[in-house]
């Protein structure tokens, strides 16, 4: 209720000569803390408790008597979800809630570009604001631990530095719209299998070095106003009311002043919810997916049970004072912020943003010259290839549908086939090749079409084509890239692993486009000359993809996670089942800090495509690296400079990556760790010096025994490269 009698009275009295000042909590020229304390002093105990619970599927209570509005929330990180009914998971049936779909966050991570992260946050924030949302439930920054995690496509990759660098501008620009980011899922939600109860055991080193840095950056550098807890347990307590995560780390060490919101159905215990850092409870008595109990909101853990405990002295009043203050702080930053802009919805600027992000995130994995050809297949030369066959279900499938809470109702979605047809016209022929069932939440649906006939038709057409573009990969079906279920296989589904090499056998001039949010097994990789990782690209998918394939845009994306050759090459799968997926009750992260490329490097297990890898239509030469000094002490800053030249014929962007390795340390450390990167845009023939500042903070590791960050004196190697394995320059420094 955003316009109450008390608010009108306070505003109208001065017009009639009444000297009644506006209450402090209503005056947004006053400091927020003064407004919070003033509002608390006017509220009853019952009103304070009600702030902590839901009033509908996607809103929580305000204080109508004081003119303090409720909070409205929406999924998700890639676009604003369609309106959901008040007390069910059914769509509300609105006709004005078709949004812009932005690329999945794995694609944003693949841009390696903070400017794209800022554009993303600004654009999705404007859409949320236009739809009158106060909290956008995202972005997600859980670490990519295993390629089987069903929600990896919603996150920012395997490296904590990359994720931290990109989440900060996203959060800042989103919140400039007066819409709170709700950074999720805090913490260690690295799988969907048994997510509601699996109890994760992880070392403090891995927690602080790998799994927490992006959340910390979002809170301390991004200024996030809310954080969502995860479903799983951590060291015996559910993460949505976990003393270690919420009280000691988030609100203690990081001095977070915002709200902790449960994931839907993530609260399980009243006492833990009261004492262990939870502020707003959503979705209790649901499974977070479909089930619901009518009129259950007063039965939440932070509702009647909490109020009764406060009244009889079971729970201290200080607990509700803190929770209510945090909720009020959030309301004053969002719903009662009269200075926030109006936002915009499905604007051309937003479609342009979605396309730009998609273009920068597409990764060229491989681009070789096939047999009986004179040049690499990409970019497509239409003077050579006049008859182009497009094969694959993902060429026409709506990939904004399915996936769980990230599913979007879009105003339009340009499919890859539409984008290619618009660019190449009647040169394009399409055949489906394989089939997948419809996306069904929590269920696997098999296709009803005769898949053998699809395969035969594709092979016949491929024999006659000048060029074959296969567009496949995963989709948003259950047990693929989807909430509530992990993948059950590392290889490609729907018979693609048989179809792909068969197509290459009849026509070696084949470009393979993978649309997925996860790495996949590629036993046929040597037979395919050109491979593109295309992600889920949102509303402008077809336009972004065709721009890169045609050469209008030079590819510049880099992988935000490693592609293992086989599943056993991934650290989470290198041990027993207790390491992944657990024994259904407990799970132990036995690979510890050695996640992703850290595992591949340290164990000397080459990845199929390494972290940071991505090719271009041009070439970049790295010159000799120089250092401002070769020794340093605590407090010093060294500058590393390396010249980079675009030595090819086309303009392009390169991501220059800096890794640092500790030659000898008291505790085990990875061979090297990403510590900085720069994305530069160079014209053909242009050279630019890329500089990195290095301090002792870049040399530290987390010492469990000291519970602190340590930089040990000794020798460190600086690696400058185009990927985690394509190292172009090395320098050594000594920390005294």
Residues identified as active-site: 263
Residue 488 DSSP label: S
Closest CA to 42 of 23, 59, 57: 23
Distances (CA, A) of 283 to 246, 280, 286: 19, 10, 6
H and E: helices and strands count for the chain:
17, 28
Cβ burial of 209 (10 Å; 0-12, 13-18, 19+) is buried
Place of tokens 């969907």: 192
Q: Using CB atoms within 10 Å of the CB of residue 685, give its burial: 0 to 12 exposed, 13 to 18 middle, 19+ buried.
A: exposed
Contacts of 413 (CB under 8 A, 6+ apart): 101, 398, 399, 400, 538, 539, 541
Say which residues have a Cβ less than 8 Å from residue 374's Cβ, sequence separation at least 6: none
Backbone angles phi, psi at 707, to 5 degrees: 50, 55
Write the DSSP assignment of 472-530 as a string of letters. EE--SSTTSS-TT---S-SS-STTHHHHHHHHHHH-S-EEEEEE-SS----TTGGG-SE
Stated as kind and residue range, the H or E segment containing 109 is helix 105-111
Q: In what order do the strands lie in the sheet with 510-515?
A: 363-367, 530-533, 510-515, 467-473, 388-391, 428-431
For residues 667 and 673, the answer to whether their CB atoms sit within 8 Å is no
108, 133, 258, 278, 623 from 180: Cα distances, Å: 20, 9, 10, 17, 44
Task: Please tell me the total number of residues recorded for the chain in this structure.
Answer: 736
Nearest to 352 by CA among 546, 174, 120, 554: 120
What separation, in Å, do the N-terminal and C-terminal C-alpha atoms of the chain show?
A: 62
Instruction: Classify 100 as helix, strand or coil.
Output: coil
Residue pair 105/156 in contact by the 8 Å Cβ criterion: yes
| Block residue for tokens 């990180």 | 77
DSSP structure class, residue 140: B
CB proximity list for 553: less than 8 A, separation 6 or greater: 359, 544, 547
- Whether the CA torsion 219, 222, 227, 229 is positive or negative: it is negative
* Distance, CA of 487 to CA of 493 (rounded, Å): 10
Q: Which of 553, 489, 556 is nearest to 516 (CA)?
A: 489
Supply 656's token pair. 């220059």
Q: Quick one: tokens of 518? A: 């996860």
Separation CA 51–CA 326 (nearest Å)? 10
Rounded CA gap, 546 and 39, in Å?
A: 55
CA distance 253 to 183: 17
Burial of 37-75, coded b for 16+ CB within 10 Å and e otherwise, reads: ebbbeebeeebbbbbbbbbbbbbbbbbbebbbbbbbbbb
Distance (Å, whole) CA 354 – CA 197:
36
Greatest alpha-carbon span in the chain: 90
Return d(Cα 553, Cα 367) in angstroms, integer.
15
564's tokens: 């293992």
């Amino acid at each position: 209720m955003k316009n109450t009698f008390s608010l009108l009275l306070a505003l109208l009295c001065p017009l009639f000569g009444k000297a009644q000042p506006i209450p402090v909590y209503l005056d947004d020229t006053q400091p927020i803390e003064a407004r919070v304390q003033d509002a608390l002093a006017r509220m009853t105990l019952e009103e304070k408790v009600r702030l902590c619970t839901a009033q509908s599927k996607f809103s929580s209570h305000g204080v109508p008597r004081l003119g303090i509005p409720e909070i409205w929330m929406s999924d998700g990180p890639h676009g604003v979800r369609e309106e959901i009914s008040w007390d069910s998971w059914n769509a509300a049936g609105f006709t004005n809630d078709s949004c812009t779909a932005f690329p999945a966050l794995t694609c944003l991570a693949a841009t390696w570009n903070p400017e794209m992260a800022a554009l993303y946050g600004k654009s999705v924030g404007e859409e949320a604001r236009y739809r009158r949302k106060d909290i956008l439930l995202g972005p997600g920054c859980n670490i990519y631990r295993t390629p089987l995690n069903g929600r990896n496509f919603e996150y920012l990759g395997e490296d904590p530095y990359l994720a931290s660098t990109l989440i900060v501008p996203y959060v800042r620009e989103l919140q400039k719209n007066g819409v709170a980011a709700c950074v999720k899922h805090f913490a260690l939600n690295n799988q969907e299998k048994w997510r509601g109860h699996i109890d994760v055991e992880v070392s403090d080193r891995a927690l602080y070095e790998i799994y927490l840095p992006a959340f910390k950056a979002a809170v301390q550098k991004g200024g996030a106003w809310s954080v969502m807890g995860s479903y799983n347990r951590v060291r015996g307590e559910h993460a949505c009311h976990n003393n270690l995560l919420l009280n000691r780390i988030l609100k203690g060490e990081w001095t977070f002043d915002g709200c902790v919101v449960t994931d839907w159905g993530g609260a399980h215990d009243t006492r833990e919810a009261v004492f262990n850092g939870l502020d707003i409870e959503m979705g209790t008595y649901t499974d977070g997916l479909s089930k619901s109990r009518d009129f259950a909101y007063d039965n939440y853990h932070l509702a009647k049970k909490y109020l009764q405990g406060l009244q009889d002295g079971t729970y201290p009043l200080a607990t509700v004072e803190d929770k209510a203050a945090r909720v009020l702080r959030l309301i004053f930053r969002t719903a009662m912020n009269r200075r926030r802009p109006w936002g915009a919805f499905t604007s051309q600027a937003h479609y342009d943003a979605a396309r730009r992000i998609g273009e920068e995130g597409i990764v060229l994995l491989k681009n070789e010259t096939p047999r009986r050809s004179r040049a690499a297949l990409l970019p497509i030369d239409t003077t050579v290839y006049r008859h182009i066959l497009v094969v694959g279900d993902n060429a026409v499938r709506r990939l904004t549908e399915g996936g769980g809470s990230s599913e979007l109702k879009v105003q339009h979605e340009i499919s890859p086939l539409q984008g290619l047809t618009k660019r190449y016209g009647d040169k394009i022929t399409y055949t489906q090749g394989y089939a997948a069932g419809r996306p069904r939440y929590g269920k696997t649906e098999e296709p009803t079409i005769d898949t053998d006939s699809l395969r035969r038709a594709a092979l016949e057409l491929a024999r006659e084509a000048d060029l074959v573009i296969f567009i496949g990969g995963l989709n948003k079906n259950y047990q693929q890239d989807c909430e509530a279920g992990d993948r059950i296989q590392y290889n490609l589904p729907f018979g693609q692993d048989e179809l792909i090499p068969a197509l290459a056998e009849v026509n070696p001039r084949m470009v393979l486009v993978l649309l997925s949010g996860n790495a996949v097994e590629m036993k046929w990789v040597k037979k395919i000359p050109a491979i593109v990782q295309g992600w889920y690209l949102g509303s402008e998918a077809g336009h972004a993809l065709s721009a890169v394939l045609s050469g209008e845009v030079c590819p510049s994306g880099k992988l935000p996670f490693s592609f293992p050759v086989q599943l056993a090459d991934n650290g989470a799968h290198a041990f027993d089942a207790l390491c992944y997926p657990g024994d259904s009750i407990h799970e132990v992260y036995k690979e510890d800090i050695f996640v992703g490329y850290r595992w591949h490097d340290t164990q000397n297990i080459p990845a199929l495509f390494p972290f940071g890898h991505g090719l271009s239509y041009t070439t970049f030469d790295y010159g000799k690296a120089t250092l401002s000094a070769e020794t340093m002490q605590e407090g010093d800053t060294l500058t590393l400079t390396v010249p980079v030249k675009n030595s090819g014929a086309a303009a392009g962007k390169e991501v220059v990556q800096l890794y640092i390795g500790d030659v000898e340390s008291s505790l085990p450390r990875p061979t090297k760790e990403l510590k900085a990167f720069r994305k530069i845009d160079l014209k053909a023939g242009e050279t630019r010096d890329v500089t990195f500042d290095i301090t002792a903070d870049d040399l530290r590791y987390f010492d469990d025994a000291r519970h602190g960050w340590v930089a040990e004196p000794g020798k460190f190697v600086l690696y400058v490269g185009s990927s985690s394995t394509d190292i172009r320059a090395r320098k050594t420094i000594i920390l005294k």
